[in-house]
Structure 1
């Protein structure tokens, strides 16, 4: 299946917007709001993987392990590179590691401190559900260690960094939109 996607890869610059960042920073929420405001489609890499596997990500990890899940992320990235354009794509926290990330579109890091993310999740109306979806947060020390490990890596691959702390959704969306427009003009992406 992967070979099929690899043989169809296009060498053009993609108009996709790729949202990366630590789990719980608000990538999915931001993607849905952006898609609604600017009238584009949005997809979520974790949702794609869960649909393909017909099971949740925690179950994939439990049954098949992390290495298998990372292969699924790479397969998803290959499909996006081949077949998706003009779309906003919110990614799982570890998706930044795929080897063709930069070919998928403009990479936008939604950035916030670990404490802000943890507070956002634990104080939400549906906090139990949000935390259950991210079982790593049941061990805050481990989660913080992973956050610290990934923080520099996220910054290294990002084309644009948008700090989301203390900003309204509208401010975040405007900052993403204007930043991506400028970057895509420089890359020669046609509207």
Structure 2
């Protein structure tokens, strides 16, 4: 076993798929955004509002370095921009959870805690700007990925099973 690093646009379901993977495998899971919130003792939204995106990206870099040096046999869910970390390929197998932008937004809006989910993602406050970010990031995600899982209209359990099957073949 080696690390699995989940990448993909914010709201695509990395956390949901991660929870299913750990239920059906020997992996444990961590989330880079949770690590940052713990390091800073405040929410991502607050970090963005008070310090800005550049500061947040520096925190991601610190987490990426720690992951490479210290974490093994773990499923790592990442924030939507974490893929830009230069050492990401050294951290583990990169698995992209992929879906069209409109489907991601639809999925978030249909979630029972939709308002909370939208509020906690600063970059989703302006959907037109979010779509532009998605359009820039998606080709980079695809280039970086060792494995791509299309999560569109699939339950998290099905995506988790597909992920484990594909990673096992590597």
- TM-score band (shorter)? over 0.9
What is the root-mean-square deviation of aligned Cα atoms in Å?
1.1
Structure 2 residue 89 is the aligned partner of structure 1 residue 102: yes
Which consecutive unaligned segments of at least 5 residues does structure 1 have?
A: 1-13, 184-191
Which consecutive unaligned segments of at least 5 residues does structure 2 have?
A: none
**1:6 paired residue number:** none
What is the TM-score of this pair, normalised by structure 1? 0.86
Which stretch shows the higher mean deviation, 19-28 or 54-63? 54-63
| Count of residues paired in the alignment | 170
Structure 2 residue 153 is the aligned partner of structure 1 residue 166: yes
**2:66 paired residue number:** 79
Q: CA deviation at 1:167?
A: 1.9
List structure 1 segments (4+ residues) > 6 angstroms apart after TM superposition: none
What is the TM-score of this pair, normalised by structure 2? 0.96
Aligned with residue 111 of structure 1, among 93, 98, 110: 98
Aligned with residue 19 of structure 2, among 32, 40, 45: 32
Structure 2 residue 131 is the aligned partner of structure 1 residue 144: yes
SS at 1:99's partner residue? coil
- Partners of 2:56 and 2:143 in 1: CA distance: 23
**1:65 paired residue number:** 52
**1:53 paired residue number:** 40
Which stretch shows the higher mean deviation, 138-147 or 165-174? 165-174
**2:30 paired residue number:** 43
**1:130 paired residue number:** 117
Computing the radius of gyration over CA atoms, which structure comes out larger, 1 or 2?
Answer: 1
SS at 1:89's partner residue? strand
Q: CA deviation at 1:175?
A: 1.2
